[in-house]
Amino acid sequence: MKKLSLMFAASLLVSPLALADVVVIGHSAGPDSITENQVRDLYLNRSNELPDGQKATTFEMASGDAVRAQFHDKITGRNDAQLKAFWSKQVFTGRGQPPAEVNNAAAMKARVSSTPGSIGYIDEADVDSSVKVIFTP
């Protein structure tokens, strides 16, 4: 029985369906915390400044990604089609460009840890010492 439950726990760890909670991560030299409204403002082009006044750089997971869907469900309340429409309006009115997209958690950590003033988001399970968690929705 104990063996079974261990195996069950292990299978949860490796199953891609077992999604832990999304967390917002930042560059190590950036602020230690950020509010939900500030994160939303950065991802909806309403602000381009971190709480400490640094110019912010945001990163997104690619369209269709489960962590991306979870992040936007919690923070901006917009799905992929709505985000696409939102950003096309921003781009073609000259107001801004959408965040650069990355394909997986490792790439997200690499971009965030090497870009001062950057923020991104990953599954809590993927957090390591290269980045710091600045907000948990």
Partner 1 sequence: MKRLLQLAPLALAIAASSASAQSTEDTLARMQQQLDSMQQQVNTAKNDRVRFNGFFSTGVAKSSNDAGFDGITEKTSVADLSLFALQGTFDVSDKSQAVFQLVGRGAEDWDPVVEWAYLSYRPINNLQLRAGKMRLPLFMYSDSLEVGYSQPWARPPQSVYGPISIKSYVGADATYTMNLDNSAVTGQLFTGFTDEEGTTGPSELRNVFGTTLSWTDYVWTARAIVGTAQVNIDIDLNQDGVHEYALSDGERALFLGLGLGYDDGIWQVISEVTRAKIDGEFADTDSAYVSVGRRFGSVTPYAVIGWIESTDNDDRTFLGPALNTRRDEYSIGARWDITPGVAIKGDVTHVTGFENAAGGLDAAYVLPAGKNSTNVYTLKLDSAF
List residues binding partner 1 (CB under 8 A): 10-11, 13-14, 37, 41, 44, 46-49, 55, 63, 77-78, 80-85, 88-89, 91-94, 97, 100, 107, 110-111, 113-115
Nearer to partner 1, 1 or 13 (CB): 13
Three-point CA angle 120, 21, 116, nearest 5°:
15
The tokens of 123 are what?
A: 């599954």
In the complex, the smallest distance separating the C-beta of residue 115 from partner 1, rounded to whole angstroms, is 7
In the complex, the smallest distance separating the C-beta of residue 31 from partner 1, rounded to whole angstroms, is 17
In the complex, the smallest distance separating the C-beta of residue 127 from partner 1, rounded to whole angstroms, is 16
Nearer to partner 1, 115 or 133 (CB): 115
Provide the residue type at 40 as one letter.
Answer: R
63 vs 9, 34, 106, CA distance in Å?
Answer: 30, 24, 17
Nearer to partner 1, 1 or 64 (CB): 64
Nearer to partner 1, 10 or 29 (CB): 10
Rounded CA-CA distance 40/59 in Å is 13
26 vs 19, 22, 58, 99, CA distance in Å?
Answer: 21, 13, 9, 14
In the complex, the smallest distance separating the C-beta of residue 114 from partner 1, rounded to whole angstroms, is 5
Nearer to partner 1, 28 or 82 (CB): 82
In the complex, the smallest distance separating the C-beta of residue 16 from partner 1, rounded to whole angstroms, is 9
- For the CA atoms of 93, 40, 28, 52, what is the dihedral angle to 10 degrees? 80
